[in-house]
Amino acid sequence: MSDIAAAAAAMNVPEDLVKRSAAARAAAAGASTDDVLAAWAGGAPAPATTAPAAIPEPAAPVTETAAEPAPQPVPSAPVPSQEPVTAATAPAAAIALPPSEPPVLQGRTEHPFLLAAGAAALLVVALLVGFLAPALPQEGNGVYSSAVPLTQAGLDGRDLYRSEGCSACHTQAVRPLVADVGLGPVTIADSNQILGVRRYGPDLAHIGSRVESQSSLLTVLTNSSEHPSYAGLSDQDLENLTAYLFESK
């Protein structure tokens, strides 16, 4: 074990502190650091401080013979205590903090009348969009009409539509209501379609704009579980009836 480790174990202090203390004591005693460490490691006191050599003063003229003073004993260096050496810590400087005030809680300002006015305005806008927007004229050539140009097959199919009583379950009138939004332009008085009296099934006004082809209408009339079958009609009648429906757009 080295002298530093032995001295640290004997004094029960960290090695770096023992090393610094030994260097300081050696400088004060005029000895080497190793001698101080060796003494501390063996439990002996450090070498005593050696008094510095006196500087000779200039000789003064001798007038009388005076008694020389008795030599004074040289004080010896204090023996280091065997108690653990702790590093001195300077008290932390007090930091002056500015005076603080307690926090003040502030509530959020409510505006109930402003909230009510916003809700009323939103309701008015919803009513305007729901009831007036469907009744607005559609973009086109400037002529707003519900009349549908029909071919001869379409005219024959319209007569068949009437004779078969299709208007008992289907209407052909788009109303200016929210329920009819998406069916097409609102129907006006000049319509040449069979308006109907009840709407058990879908409204068929502008039905040609909502189906892919005339054959899809034929499938509904002849092979659908959700509609009565008209497979008993002739091929020509089915052609005319689906032509009337498909041309209604």
Instruction: For residue range 182-199, list pLDDT tens digits in order.
Output: 898 999 989 999 988 889
Sign of CA dihedral 117, 119, 121, 124: negative
Mean pLDDT of the 35-48 span: 69
Average pLDDT over residues 109-133: 87
Q: Residue 116 pLDDT more than 70?
A: yes
Confidence at residue 74, expressed as pLDDT on a 0 to 100 scale: 54
Q: What pLDDT, on a 0 to 100 scale, did the predictor assign at position 55?
A: 46
pLDDT score, position 36: 76
Cα 116 to the center of its chain, rounded Å? 31
Q: How far is CA 92 from CA 88, 97, 99, in A?
A: 12, 15, 20
In 10 A of CB 110, how many CB atoms?
8
* Residue from 8, 9, 7, 37 nearest 22 by CA: 37
Closest listed residue to residue 206, CA positions, set 171, 168, 178: 171
pLDDT at 2 over 90: no
Reported as a single tens digit per residue, the pLDDT across 73-92 is: 555 555 555 555 545 454 55
Place 39 in a pLDDT band, splitting at 50, 70 and 90: confident
CA distances from 119 to 36, 107, 115, 129 (A): 92, 24, 6, 15
Structure tokens at 144: 């707003």
- pLDDT tens track for 47-61: 555 545 444 455 555
Long-range contacts of residues 151-158, Cβ cutoff 8 Å, at least 24 apart: 151/243, 151/247, 153/239, 153/240, 153/243, 153/244, 154/240, 154/243, 154/244, 154/247, 155/244, 156/240, 156/243, 156/244, 157/239, 157/240, 157/241, 157/242, 157/243, 157/244, 157/245, 158/193, 158/194, 158/244
Q: pLDDT digits over 141-170, tens only?
A: 566 788 999 999 999 999 999 999 999 999
Q: What is the pLDDT of residue 165?
A: 92
Question: Mean pLDDT over residues 162-183, rounded?
Answer: 92
Report whether pLDDT(45) > 80.
no
Its sign, for the CA torsion 190, 145, 127, 180, is: positive
Please check whether residue 229 is in contact with residue 222, taking contact to mean a CB–CB distance below 8 angstroms. yes
Average pLDDT over the chain, rounded to an integer: 79
pTM of the model: 0.44
Tell me what pLDDT residue 21 has: 82
